[in-house]
């Protein structure tokens, strides 16, 4: 059965799954960004002033920032830059239903659903950890964390 927006799969506490990390708690305040990596930003103007994309299509990959502040910290001890993880994203991508070659990225099993002319899905990406940050607010007992990732 497809997972509709905002509905957790059966038995899940959060949409986000990162291989090797056991997110067995409710991740309140979780946020995820997904944006093209810097190498895709290669646009130049011709002598006539027309803008052209000169980036290589093999660089059409994503970077992601996952942040959360919660009472309990997830098990991200011993996670360091350079590690490869599989991320079942919480964020959705959307494509026009029936487009050849869509979805552009592998999808999390059971995450796609059709809404009007569009198909929504959560991508599953092989990513490298670029940075990890931990914060703690003693007075509120808030555990904050952030993981920066780039698709391999």
Q: Does any domain span residue 90?
A: yes
Tens-digit pLDDT string for the chain (152 aa):
444 555 556 555 577 888 866 554 456 778 999 999 999 999 999 999 999 999 999 999 999 999 988 877 777 788 899 999 999 999 999 999 998 888 999 999 999 999 999 999 999 999 999 999 998 888 888 888 899 999 99
Q: How many domains does the chain have?
A: 1
In 3D space, the residue among 26, 63, 65 whose CA is nearest the CA of residue 41 turns out to be 63
Q: Does any domain span residue 5?
A: no
Q: Does any domain span residue 7?
A: no
Q: Does any domain span residue 86?
A: yes
Q: Does any domain span residue 1?
A: no
**CA pair distance 149, 64, nearest whole angstrom:** 5
- 8 A C-beta contact, residue 143 and residue 73: yes
Q: Does any domain span residue 3?
A: no
Q: Does any domain span residue 12?
A: no
* Residue 91, domain extent: 17-151
Q: Does any domain span residue 9?
A: no
At 33 the pLDDT is 97
At 3 the pLDDT is 46
At 16 the pLDDT is 81
At 81 the pLDDT is 94
**CA pair distance 124, 151, nearest whole angstrom:** 10
């Amino acid at each position: 059965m497809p997972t509709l927006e905002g509905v957790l799969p059966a038995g899940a506490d959060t949409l986000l799954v990162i291989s090797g990390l056991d997110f067995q708690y409710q991740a309140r305040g979780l946020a995820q960004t997904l944006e093209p990596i810097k190498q895709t930003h290669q646009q130049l103007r011709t002598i006539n002033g027309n803008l052209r994309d000169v980036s290589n299509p093999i660089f059409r990959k994503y970077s992601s920032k996952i942040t959360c502040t919660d009472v309990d910290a997830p098990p991200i001890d011993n996670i360091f830059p350079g590690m490869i993880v599989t991320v079942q994203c919480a964020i959705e991508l959307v494509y026009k239903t029936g487009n050849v070659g869509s979805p552009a990225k592998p999808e999390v099993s059971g995450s796609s659903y059709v809404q009007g002319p569009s198909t929504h899905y959560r991508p599953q990406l092989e990513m490298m950890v670029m940075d990890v940050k931990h914060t703690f607010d003693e007075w509120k007992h808030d555990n904050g964390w952030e993981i920066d990732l780039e698709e391999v």
